[in-house]
Amino acid sequence: MDLRNWRSNLIATFVTVVALTTFSWAFAVQDSETVVNELAGLDGEWIFLEDRTEGRTLEQLNPPMSTKFSMKIEDGAVVLNGHGSGHRDVRVALDGSITEIKEPNTISRYSGTWKDGTFEYEVKFERLSGKTPNSIEMIRRSFRMTTDGLVVNVTVVPPIISQSVGLYRHAEDIPMPEPAKATIGDLGWLDGAWVGKKMTGSAIEERWSPPLGGAMLAISRTVNKSGKMVGFEYLRIVERDGGLVYIAQPGGAKPTEFVLSEVSPTRAVFENPRHDYPKRIVYELSPEGVLTTSVGQSKGGSPIRVELKREDR
C-alpha cells in the first residue's frame, strides 16, 4: 500500500466530513433562527379584520373565533389568552405533549405543533357528567403569518364539522377610515330623548344634548322587564380636525373612539376597525321620525339594531 496515497485519502475524507458537519450545523442554526423568527411573529394581541370563509353570504360573515385574542411565545411553547374557551394563560407545548385543564364538569386537553410556518393546536373536551346534545368534542385552530396578516383556520367537531377562516392583524397595522368632513351642527337631528325596546324586551333610552361648543353629550340606560337597570353608557360626539369623533364609555369604562366616516342629513356612520367589537356604529333617522341605532362588524354579520322614538315632552 502506498502510504502517501493512504494519508492523502484519509486527510481528504476528514476534510469532507468536517465540511459536511459544519454545513449541517450552519443549516441547523439558520433553520432554528428561522423558526424563532416565525414564532416571534405570532406574539402579541390580534384583532379580527375580515371573514375569509368561502361560500358565505354577507349576513354569515363572522369571526372564526374571538374578535380579540393574544399569544405569547415562550421557549418551546405558545401561551394562549382569549381564545374563546374561557381559559387564561394556557401553555401549549410545541412537542405535542398534553396540557390538561380540569373543571367541575369538563376536562380540556390542549396539544400543539409547529410545522412549515404554521402553529396548530387542538383542544379536546371530556364531559364528566355525560355528553350533552350538540356538545363540541374537539376544536382545531391553526395560525399562519401572511403578507395580509395572521390567517386563522378553525375546525369544530361535531355535531356538524364546520370550518372557518379569518384574517387578524395587530391593531396598529389596521388602517383607519378616511374621516368625513362635518361639524357638530350636522348632527342636530340627533338632539333629544330617544326611547325604545331591545329584542329582549328591556327598555333603552338615549338622551342627547343639543349641539353646542363643538360637542353633543348623551347618556344611555337599559332597564330590564323587572325594572332593574342592567346597563348604562356615557356618550360624546366632538369636533376634531374638521370631522367628528364618537366617544363611547359603556359602564363608565375607558373611552373608545370611532371616526365619522359617512354623514348625511339623516344618517351618520362611525367606525373603528381597530376595536374588537363593535367596529361600526350607525345612527339613521327615518322620514317617520324613527331613530335606528346599529352596532356590529365593519362588514356583514348580524348587527344589533334598536329602533327608538323621540320621547314626548
Q: Is the pLDDT of residue 278 over 90?
A: yes
Q: Mean pLDDT, to the nearest integer, of 188-208?
A: 96
- pLDDT band of residue 184 (cuts 50, 70, 90) is very high
Which pLDDT tens digit goes with each residue over 237-246? 999 999 999 9
Q: Is the pLDDT of residue 20 over 60?
A: no
The DSSP 8-state label assigned to residue 212 in this structure reads: B
Helices (H), strands (E): how many in the chain?
A: 1, 20
When mean pLDDT is compared across 132-136, 227-231, 286-290, the lowest value belongs to 132-136
List of long-range contacts for 248-256, beta carbons under 8 Å, 24+ apart: 248/281
pLDDT score for 85: 76
Residue 158 C-alpha cell reads as 361535531
Question: How buried is 29 (Cβ within 10 angstroms: 0-12 exposed, 13-18 middle, 19+ buried)?
Answer: exposed
Place of cell 395560525: 143
Q: Cα–Cα distance between 299 and 284 in angstroms, integer?
A: 17
- pLDDT band of residue 16 (cuts 50, 70, 90) is very low
* CB 113, CB 120: distance < 8 Å: yes
When mean pLDDT is compared across 7-21, 116-130, 212-226, 275-289, the lowest value belongs to 7-21
pLDDT score for 59: 92
Q: Is the pLDDT of residue 214 over 60?
A: yes
Higher pLDDT, 113 or 9: 113
pLDDT score for 312: 75
Enumerate domains of the chain plus CATH numbers. Answer: 44-172 (2.40.128.20), 184-310 (2.40.128.20)
- pLDDT band of residue 133 (cuts 50, 70, 90) is low
- pLDDT band of residue 282 (cuts 50, 70, 90) is very high
The DSSP 8-state label assigned to residue 136 in this structure reads: -
Q: Cα–Cα distance between 232 and 69 in angstroms, integer?
A: 26
pLDDT score for 161: 67
Higher pLDDT, 273 or 34: 273
At 70 the three-state DSSP class reads strand
The DSSP 8-state label assigned to residue 289 in this structure reads: S
Mean of pLDDT over the chain: 88
Q: Quick one: which of 158, 121, 125 has its CA closest to 140?
A: 121
